[in-house]
Amino acid sequence: MSATDPGHIVDPRAFQDELLGWYDRHARALPWRIAPGSGERPDPYRIWLSEVMLQQTVVKAVIPYFEAFTSRWPTVEALAAAPDADILEAWAGLGYYARARNLIACARDVAALGGFPGTEAELRTLPGLGAYTAAAIAAIAFGQPATVVDGNIERVMARLFEVDTPLPAGKKILRAHAATLTPDQRPGDYAQALMDLGATVCRPKAALCLTCPVARLCKARGRDPERLPIKLPKAKKPERQGVAFWLECGGAVLLVRREDSGLLGGMRALPASGFTESGADRGDGAPVKADWQDTGHRVSHGFTHFNLTLTVLRAERPDRANLQGEWVPIAELDKAGLPTLFKKVVRAVRDSR
């Protein structure tokens, strides 16, 4: 069927009523969410923090980070006042570290404003808040009738209207369909209901069409709904090479703070060089001249736009003088707030000792 076929019309009121009725009974209990019907007002700080963490990350992985952040920094003002290094180390392992830098900048902007702005347009002006995140905060935290479209909701719309235009070109069509259904009443619950529907019922595979609350309205039902949305094959990621330097002295290892800009900006890390398609010479970028030995370890990690393989070199030093960085006992490296890439290096070297 053509994505522009006008023959399938979804009654917005019927869709909203059936979806919200299902949500009232089956809403997921999440630490940032207010249960439907509770009468409580959502905390914009908790909604914002959860939405930033959930960008390109699954709910299960986010929950412990969210709980740790809100326990340590219960308000946006507390987060805004925290040192960058503390926030980056608390974020370590969650990935996509540009989000953490935007999180810091946004928290400080919001604190300076005296609180979160309440409209989608104003939220879009804050660091790190794109169309989806701004709409989600506006709808959930402030009850604004914003059209919220994430990957789960795109899938629901693609099947509901049987849109066969491949992504990403089909995104505009799916958003237009979603906008026709966005309610004025309970927009926050509605947005979360759509998210839950996509996550638990209208799943990428093994969709639970028999228990779907809006199945009777879905055009793709019984017509192989799992083929939708159609996605074009992803381009193969480029392969990059680099070197990580494990410099040891008296049972401790040298760590450095990466430059604020660029990959893993501001994070604690082992000294490293390369990260290019051609890699780096083994001595290039080493923190000190030494008898660097190849450990034999090759540590691979996937980033958003490329895959990286690090060669791990090791050397020992009799003293800690005249070196920038900090010496961390090997036994305490797990608590050092290293990003996942360097956690892998630590595990590789330490497990082979």
3-state SS assignment for residue 159 = helix
Question: Any idea what DSSP says for residue 173?
Answer: H
Q: Supply 134's token pair.
A: 């701004």
The C-alpha atoms of residue 22 and residue 25 are separated, in whole angstroms, by 5
Catalytic position from the list 18, 40, 51, 226: 51
List, in sequence order, every residue forming a beta bridge with 241; answer none if it has no partner: 276, 309
Nearest CA among 353, 333, 351, 348 for reference residue 268: 333
Give yes or no: 259 in active site.
no
Mutual orientation of helices 171-181 and 151-160 as an angle, nearest 10°? 80
C-alpha count within 13 angstroms, C-beta hemisphere, residue 199: 16
Per DSSP, helices labelled H in the chain are 12-26, 44-54, 59-72, 76-81, 84-91, 98-113, 120-123, 131-142, 151-160, 171-181, 187-200, 340-351
**Buried-state track 68-98, b at ≥16 Cβ within 10 A, e below 16:** ebbeebeebeebbebeeeebbbbbbebbebe
**Buried-state track 145-183, b at ≥16 Cβ within 10 A, e below 16:** bbbbbbebbbbbbbbbbbbbbebeebbebbbebbeebbb
Phi, psi torsion values for 125, nearest 5 degrees: -80, -10
Per the CB < 8 A criterion, the answer to whether 313 and 253 are in contact is no
| Residue at token pair 């992985």 | 61
Tell me which residues are annotated as active site: 51
